[in-house]
Chain A
Amino acid sequence: MAAIDVTSHPRGVQTERFAPPETLLDVFGATVAGSGALTALDAHDGVLSYDELSAAADRVARALRKHGVGPGERVGVHLESGSWRLYAGILGVLRAGAAYVPVDADDPPARAGEIWAQADVCGVLEGDLRLRRLRPGRGQDRALSADDDAWIIFTSGTTGAPKGVAISHRSAAAFVAAEQRLWTVRPDDRVLGGLSVSFDASCEEMWLAWGTGAALVAAPREVVRSGADLGPWLARRGVTVISTVPTLAAMLDGDALSGVRLMVVGGEACPEELGWRLACGRELWNTYGPTEATVVTTAAPIREGEPVLIGWALAGWDVAVVDDDGCPVDVGEPGELVIGGVGLGRYLDADLDAERFAPLPALGWARAYRSGDVVRETVDGLQFVGRSDDQVKVAGRRLELGEVEARLRAVPGVRAAAAALQKTGAGNGVLVGYVVGDVAPADVRAAVAEELPDGLAPVVVVVDELPLARSGKLDRRALPWPPPDRAGTADPDLEGTAAWLAQRFIEQLGPVAVSADTDFFASGGSSLAAAKLVSVLRGRFPSVAVADVYEHRTLAALAEHLDALGEALAPAPAPQSSARSRWGALQLAGVVGLLTFTAAQWLVGIFAYDQWEGGGPSVGVPALVLGWLLVASPPGRTLMVVAARRTLLRGLQPGRYSRHSWLACRLWFVERLAEVCRVDGLAGTPWAGRYARLCGDRVGRGARLGTLPPVTGLLTVGDGATLEGQVDVQGWWIDGAELVLGEVRVGAGARVGTRCLLMPGADVGEGAEIEPGTVVDGAIPAGQRWSGSPARYVGRAGEGWPDATPARSPRRRLWRAMYGVGMAIQTGLALLATIPGFAVLVALGVNLGSVGSIASAMLFEAPLVAATFLLTYALLVAGLLRCTWPLLRPGTYADDGAVAWAYWFSEALMESTRVLLFPMFASLYIGPWLRLAGIEVGRRTEVSTAVGLSPLVSVGHTSFLTDDVVLATARARGGWLCVEPIAIGDRTFIGPGAVLRSGTRLGDDCLVGVLSTPPKCAPDGTSWLGLPALELPRVPDRPDPARTTSPPRRLVAVRASIELVRMLLPASVSVLLGTGVFLALEHLGNADGLLAMLLCAPLLLALAGIAAATLTVVAKWLLMGRYTALQRPLWSPFIWRDELINTCQEQLARAWLLELGLGTPLMGAYLRAMGAKVGRDVWFETLAVTEFDLVHLGDGAAVNRGACLMTHLIHDRLMRTGPASIEADATLGPESAVLPDTRVGRACSVGGRSIVLRGEELPAGTRWHGAPVVPHAGSPC
């Protein structure tokens, strides 16, 4: 489309040449001549007719000329608004021939000063029409020409600094004339002069009046600003013509405007509804134009019901709609409006002028002003689309602020609206809608959101009024940001996580003010809203829980917590694998070393036999005794371990080391050696402390050690402290690729309950009390009592204990000595139990003195020998226990008497039973044996390897005690021993690793979850999980009772047989293997001599070990094939086969090889052979695996000591199996457990004594601890 041509103006062809007056003085002069007596100016301080006004102007002009003011010069005008002097002053400057530079008297002086400077005025008219001279006037001595400037008006640019626009008389006069062609102002009209004189629209006001002889009614500023007062004022003063901006017009209601017959609006876009309202009952014109093109460029009438347009160009103005390249666009297409013609002004700044008034080559215009406004041509005129800088990009979408404002205004209750794109502190743009009205932000937002494109709904802020610029136009930059308190946006100073979280808060809370200390709940968040918030937060921070929002209530605290939890980032790449194989090989060498040691023990035995039997190489009795002393006797074994510690672990320092290192190898070796040497026999005896000090550990006087210090030597135990049995104080673990090693301190007088885990860096304060099962990985303040995994404060230490120190027991020396007796009995018991086996052999005619005879016999009689041994042992132990029980009574005693001894002795016996008679547990035979031993256990109750069984424990019928349940009937502290019974009801299930404290009473039909510690009193039918246990009501499964609680006889018989096989077969094989080794060594000794025996012994043991492991593997594949995820009730052959395989693993694979191979590549090989999916370089330090095919271990995974891959659950007497996956580089901490259907993600770390619940998946790279696991924020310990 070509530029709109004046000659093609649809309002009619201009036939006559349009010849506007030359200067404003011409205009004024014509009016004065024609209407001299009419009122020109009606101000509050004076009413002047045209003649009077002209005279006044003359006086001013004369005075100015005296100061050198003339054509070409500029004079500032800084006079009180609404006063006659203002207008006289302006006209006086014009009369003098200069340009006037107006600054509103209410503007800050600094602005005025800046403007005078920029405009280079020679003086300022102020106060009483006095000229304040700034410099000598340089007015030229000639007549005024049309090219001289009429006014210089400053607009604020986008950068904020004002820029001066000079308008010539030619442009100004053309403007006045062009407007007169559009509408008619009659001499009897009264025109409102309300706009600030520093804006060019005031010129329109003035010349609307002075160009036609109408009166200019000057309004004081206060009246204009107060919308309420303006109406009556208008009526009082009889105003009939108003030129104003829509924002001000909107404040006027119908009554105020009743006398107004002509209204001209301009300066900003006029909303349709407003326009139609204003158009009722009067002539209304919408004008458009920048200051740079002399006030108005285009105009169009507004009629009700018709679209509001900006119309066509004024006569003499040229307009064109162009695209970004400056080429005209097609009709109807939006484009930038470019203005040419007589109205163009000029910037004072020459560079700016050249830039903004550059030529438009496409249309051949020498000067063209690019308005920055986007318009579109329609049939009826130009339509204003918006400012090109009112088009914002929000969320990648272009959006017209005008459109947003229109939609906001359309919401019922909204009187006025504005939109702006504000920035947060982080620089993100946020679309904000400001509304005036009695509305709720949430409602406005919801209403607008439906109309706008997705995701572009503005945050709504309710304000009392919209800020207006001096011109009366909306001052978008003054829209408050950050918003006032009532509004619903985020503090822009928030950064990073906090800023993101603030938006999430707003999503849940609605548009409320959100700042760093906003409390989610105090701001109206319900617990449901918190749950929804957390659901969204988890997308970025997978470990967050609802409890975190309650714990970290303020935005800042929660953001900090989220950062600590860490985002779901890709985990770091795995460490190099080059070092791995080297250390693996070293470990295998270590295994051989350990085997050598075991072999030495074997050899001592064999030499002893040889000595007795008379055959084979003889070493002589002294050598034999020496040998025995060195490797087989308790002191000898202890010495070995001490020597190993002193040499290999000297100078051990806490720290984090690579797990592939010489240090790790040494540590592993000494640990295994200590286990092989079984040096903790003194634990729980009165000599434990002395023994520990002899070994070089830092143990205080009077400390009671139910657990001996670890080989690392990093444990410090204070005076009088009590360490109960089976506490894990090793002080190291494998965490990912690192070996974490640290000191463990137990302060003087402190008590650490049974089965606690003291992680590296644990520091139990003096006198503190740690309840059984607790995980400590930091400092416990003195005198406090802590419990749980993770540990938390539960009270003061010493509650429930006598205050005084205990009186010494009578006969304590006797009981002290009894410990020795007890140890001797334990050692001797196993040997004693072998005697009937030999007796059987002899009875069968075997010549024990002949190797060959033994050999042939064993092959057939091994089961018999095994059975005899087991039976004898079982009977002996039962008998001994029965003798011991009378000493064990509830009560509080000193720990140096009978009760303590009985407790220790019975527990030691039971422990050895759990090893030697392992298959008896969890079988049908355990019940009768327990009853034989004097422990009352109800009918049909399943008992696995529970610890602490005694007459103090009563168990109802049809209950279930699973593996490793701890029944801690006794607790010790400060020399006291407190014994209380434990009662377990009927049909109650106690999960693996659960710890029951002394005095616990569990009702019927209860369930205690894995690793949990139930409360001391659990009512019937309750379910508990955790440490400390929370009650979790559940729906129990109810499988067929015929397969769970009341099986038919046939099934009982099947089970009894399978379990008999289970008890005898692996043991028999073990016997056979032993015999095989014995025979081979004998043969070697006879054939090749002593040296051969010595050298080959380790090798033979290794072979035996491999054979044992292989047999286990074969047994697994034969009996079970592949494990799959399934469900079987308790009385199913599947379970009995499973147990059989497990027994083979314990009595063959572990006993012969894997005991030494824990933590070495042997474990990986074994697990793979058993069907597990195992990656490379896996650290596996446990044998608590059953359903192998369901186990997946990624490369570099670490499973620490005591941990359990619990791929089956057996509560409700229904076994359910499911896979467990430890992904690459993940860690399962000491004594932790993963349940079926779990996945521990890549590089994830699970701390000590923690449970990963069934079905849970831990995301990669996160850290967890606790029973059940919770995120572990903060740096790893």
Chain B
Amino acid sequence: MTGMTGMAGVAGVAGDGTPRVRLIDARMAGLADLADLRAYARAVSEEMGGGRVSRSYCFPLAVVACHEDAVGVDIERIEPCDEGFLESIMTPAERSGRVAWQARDHDPGRAGAVDTDSDQDRAAISLWSSKEALAKALGDALDYDPRRLDSPAAWRDGRSGPWRAARLEVDPMHIVWVCWRAQP
């Protein structure tokens, strides 16, 4: 089981209790299928301590986040997306560019990278994942239509009121977003 340390530097604010996040790799944990992975992840989250828990799966990976207050996590594999998909999950503000969600999404090392198909896919999946993580942190994810929820990618310094958001790098093919409510 891989542990993931170092939330510091992502949100950049000292003193906020950041959630504990663990990444589970089914291959390394010897788990055969999704059902086993779910059970294992549940056990891990119980072991990680009390408070609120959020889990997300993308076989063979799973992510578990624990926090004293509301928390939401989402992991996605970068896969090809239809052209219309990105449009269909953006708010009008994001579509028109009023909300700058993409600038923060680029890796610093890839500044100036050409906007290829895979960049588009990555951007779409990242946008969707950020909204999914936020929706899970806010409560029932189903209440939140991505077309009406601005992505936390646009937040200044990953903050909005009491909410925090961070994107974590797992490997080149996966994206993980974590959103949580900071303690006052």
A residues adjacent to B (C-beta < 8 A)? 526-528, 531-532, 534-536, 538-539, 545-547, 550-551, 1005, 1019-1023, 1025, 1030-1035, 1237, 1253-1256, 1268
A531–B163 Cα distance when bound, in Å, is: 24
Contact B145 A546 (CB under 8 A): yes
8 closest A-B pairs (Cβ-Cβ)?
Answer: A1255-B92, A1021-B161, A535-B88, A1033-B160, A1033-B163, A535-B85, A547-B142, A550-B142
Please determine whether A1030 and B138 come into contact, CB atoms closer than 8 angstroms: yes
B164 CB to closest chain A CB, in angstroms? Answer: 10
Q: Identify the stretch in B7-15, B24-32, B37-45, B148-156 within 8 Å (CB) of chain A at 4 or more residues.
A: B148-156
Chain B residue contacts of A1035, Cβ below 8 A: 99, 150, 154-156, 160
CA distance A536 to B148 in the complex (A): 18
Chain A residues, Cβ within 8 Å of B115: none
CB of A1254 within 8 A of CB of B146, answer no
Cα A1237 to Cα B150 in complex, Å, equals 17
User: How far apart sit A539 and B82, CA to CA, in the bound complex (Å)?
Assistant: 12
Q: Does A1022 lie within 8 Å of B142, measured CB to CB?
A: no
Is A545 a contact partner of B145 (Cβ separation < 8 A)?
Answer: yes
- B95's nearest neighbour on chain A, judged by CB, is A1255
**Which B residues touch A526, using CB under 8 A?**
57-58
Instruction: Tell me, rounded to whole Å, the shortest Cβ–Cβ distance linking A930 to chain B.
Output: 28
30 A-B pairs whose Cβ atoms sit less than 8 Å apart in the complex: A526-B57, A527-B132, A527-B141, A528-B76, A528-B128, A528-B132, A531-B146, A535-B84, A536-B82, A546-B142, A546-B145, A550-B142, A1020-B161, A1020-B162, A1020-B184, A1021-B160, A1022-B161, A1030-B143, A1030-B144, A1031-B138, A1031-B139, A1032-B148, A1032-B150, A1033-B138, A1033-B150, A1033-B161, A1035-B99, A1035-B150, A1035-B155, A1256-B92
Judge if B170 is at the interface, Cβ distance under 8 Å.
Answer: no
Q: Which chain B residues border A1020 with CB–CB below 8 Å?
A: 161-162, 184
Q: Residues 111-138 of chain B: 1 if any A CB is under 8 Å from the residue's CB, otherwise 0?
A: 0000000000000010011001010001
| Residue contact B160 to A1034, C-beta cutoff 8 Å | yes
B89 within 8 A of A: yes
Q: Is the CB of A1255 within 8 A of B91?
A: yes
Residues of A near B155 (CB, < 8 A) are: 1033, 1035
Q: Is B5 in contact with chain A by the CB < 8 A criterion?
A: no
Chain B, 78-98, contact with A by CB distance < 8 Å: what is the 0/1 string? 000110110111011101100
Cβ distance A440 to chain B, nearest Cβ, rounded Å: 14
Give A527's nearest chain B residue, CB to CB.
B132
Chain A residues contacting B82 (CB-CB under 8 Å) are 532, 535-536
In angstroms, Cα B161 to Cα A1019, docked, is 9
A531 touches B128 (CB 8 A): yes
Nearest opposing residue in chain B for A1007, CB measure: B161
A residues near B144, Cβ cutoff 8 Å: 1030, 1032
Q: Is the CB of B85 within 8 A of A1253?
A: no
Question: Which residues of the partner chain A approach B150 to less than 8 Å between Cβ atoms?
Answer: 1032-1035
User: In the bound complex, do residue A1005 and residue B161 qualify as a contact, i.e. CB atoms below 8 Å apart?
Assistant: yes
A1242 and B143 CA atoms in complex are apart in Å by 28
Most buried by B among A550, A551, A1031: A1031
Q: Cα distance A1019–B162 when bound, in Å?
A: 8
Interface centre among A527, A1033, A1268 (most CB of B within 10 A): A1033
Set of chain B residues within 8 Å of A551, measured between Cβ atoms? 142
Chain A residue nearest to B165 (CB atoms) is: A1033
- Given A546-B146, A1032-B148, A1032-B150: A532 and B92 within 8 A (CB)? no
A172 to B138, CA, bound (A): 83
* List of A residues within 8 angstroms of B154 by Cβ: 1035
In whole angstroms, what is the CA distance A1140 to B148 when docked? 34
For the complex, give the distance between the alpha carbons of A551 and B142 in Å: 9
Identify the closest chain B residue to A1033 (Cβ). Answer: B160
CB nearest neighbor in B for A547: B142
In the complex, what residues of B have CB within 8 A of residue A550's CB?
142
A1031 contacts across to B, CB distance below 8 A: 138-139
A1033 with B134, Cβ < 8 A, contacts A531-B89, A535-B82 known: yes
A-B contact count (CB 8 A): 91
Q: In the bound complex, what is the Cα–Cα distance between A207 and B25 (angstroms)?
A: 65
Query: Contacts A551-B142, A1020-B161, A1022-B161 given; 15 further ones with Cβ under 8 A?
Result: A526-B58, A527-B132, A531-B85, A531-B88, A535-B89, A550-B142, A1005-B161, A1019-B184, A1025-B148, A1033-B152, A1033-B160, A1034-B160, A1255-B93, A1255-B95, A1256-B92
Tell me whether A1253 and B132 are in contact (CB under 8 A). Answer: no
Chain B minimum-CB-distance residue to A1257: B92
Which A-chain residue is minimally distant from B100 (CB atoms)? Answer: A1035
Assess whether A1237 is in contact with B163, with CB atoms less than 8 Å apart. no
Cα A1023 to Cα B159 with chains together (Å): 13
Q: How far is the CA of A531 from the CA of B141 in the complex (A)?
A: 12
Bound form: Cα–Cα A1005–B162 in Å = 11
Q: Report whether A1253 and B160 are in contact in the complex, using a CB–CB cutoff of 8 Å.
A: no
Contact B93 A1254 (CB under 8 A): yes
- What separation, in Å, do the CA atoms of A539 and B87 have in the docked complex? 12
Q: How distant is B126 from chain A, measured CB to nearest CB, in Å? A: 12
Q: Which residue of B lies closest to A529 (CB)?
A: B79
- Contact status of A1254 and B160, CB under 8 A, knowing A531-B128, A545-B145, A1033-B152: no
Find the A residue at minimum CB distance from B92.
A1255
Query: How many whole Å from B146's CB to the nearest CB in chain A?
Result: 7
Q: Which chain B residues lie closer than 8 Å to A1255 at the CB level?
A: 91-93, 95-96
Q: How far is the CA of A232 from the CA of B96 in the complex (A)?
A: 74
Give B86's nearest chain A residue, CB to CB: A535
A1233 CB, nearest partner CB in chain B, Å: 15
Closest approach, in angstroms, between the C-beta of B174 and any C-beta of chain A?
12
Min CB gap A509→B, angstroms: 14
Residue from A528, A536, A1022, A1032 within 8 A of B125 (CB atoms): A528
Q: From A524, which residue of chain B is reached at the shortest CB distance? A: B34
Query: How far is A984 from B129 in the complex, measured between Cα atoms in Å?
Result: 34
Chain B residues near A547 (CB, 8 Å)? 142-143, 145
Bound Cα distance A532, B82 (Å):
8
Q: Which residue of A lies closest to B125 (CB)?
A: A528
Across-interface contacts of B145 in A (CB, < 8 A): 545-547
Please, which residue of chain B has its CB at the minimum distance from the CB of A1254? B92
A1256–B93 CA distance with the chains assembled, in angstroms = 10
Measured between beta carbons, the chain A residues less than 8 angstroms from B143 are 547, 1030
CA distance A539 to B143 in the complex (A): 22
Instruction: Tell me, in angstroms, the Cα distance from A1025 to B160 when the chains sit together.
Output: 15
In the assembled complex, which residues on chain A have CB atoms less than 8 Å from the CB atom of B138? 1030-1031, 1033
Closest chain-A Cβ to B134's Cβ sits at a distance in Å of: 7
Contact of B162 among A546, A1021, A1254, A1256 (CB under 8 A): A1021
In the docked arrangement, what's the CA distance between A538 and B90, Å? 14
Chain B residues near A527 (CB, 8 Å)? 132, 141
Bound CA span A1020–B89, Å: 28
Q: Nearest chain-B residue to A1005 (Cβ)?
A: B161
Residue of B nearest to A537 (CB): B88
Q: Which residues of A contact B89 (CB under 8 A)?
A: 531, 535
A1031 to B143, CA, bound (A): 10
Question: In the complex, which residues of chain A have a beta carbon less than 8 angstroms from the beta carbon of B85?
Answer: 531-532, 535
Distance to closest chain B CB from A553 (angstroms): 12
Q: How far is the CA of A888 from the CA of B57 in the complex (A)?
A: 56
Most chain-B CB neighbours within 10 Å: which of A526, A528, A532, A1025? A528
Cα separation A535 to B81 with both chains bound (whole Å): 10
A1031–B162 alpha-carbon span in the complex (Å): 11
Q: For residue A1022, which residues in chain B have a CB less than 8 angstroms away from its CB? A: 161-162
Shortest Cβ distance from residue B44 to the other chain A in the assembled complex, whole angstroms: 20
List, in ascending order, chain A residues with CB within 8 A of B125's CB: 528
Q: A536 vs B141: C-alpha distance in the bound complex, in angstroms?
A: 21
Nearest opposing residue in chain A for B136, CB measure? A527
Chain B residues within 8 Å of A538, by CB: 84, 88
- Tell whether, in the assembled complex, residue B156 and residue A1023 are in contact, meaning their CB atoms are under 8 Å apart: no
In the complex, what residues of B have CB within 8 A of residue A1019's CB? 161-162, 184
Interfacial chain A residues near B95, Cβ < 8 Å: 1255
List B contacts of A531 (CB < 8 A): 85, 88-89, 128, 146
Q: How far is the CB of B124 from chain A (nearest CB, A)?
A: 10
CB distance from A953 to the nearest CB of B (A): 23
